[in-house]
Amino acid sequence: MALICSLINLYIFVLFVRVVLSWFPINPNGPVGQVSRLVHAATDPVLVPVRRMLPNMGPLDLSPIVVWIVLGIIVPTLIGC
């Protein structure tokens, strides 16, 4: 259980990094661009399906918030973190 809880916390941190990176212009050829590609590759498999289920809110993407709620509150409650 401790490993699952640690992985959930790590993924929540990666989601936070993705949100913060989205606030800044990033040079895709620079070192931050490489980090951004890794973060997107790690989070897109979860965020894209959630984004499809949510109504279009224009430039506001609520999918990280929904995933945070599920991973940060619901899942730990169910598995006992």
pLDDT in tens, 9-63: 999 999 999 999 999 999 989 999 999 999 999 999 999 999 999 998 888 889 9
Determine the Cα–Cα distance for residues 36 and 78; give it in Å rounded to an integer.
Answer: 31
Q: Supply the pTM of this predicted model.
A: 0.84
Which of 79, 48, 81 shows the shortest CA–CA distance to 66?
48
State the Cα angle at 39 between 36 and 41, rounded to 5°. Answer: 110
> Six-digit token pair at 19?
């949100």
- Sequence ranges of the domains in the chain: 2-19+32-79
> Six-digit token pair at 42?
């790690």
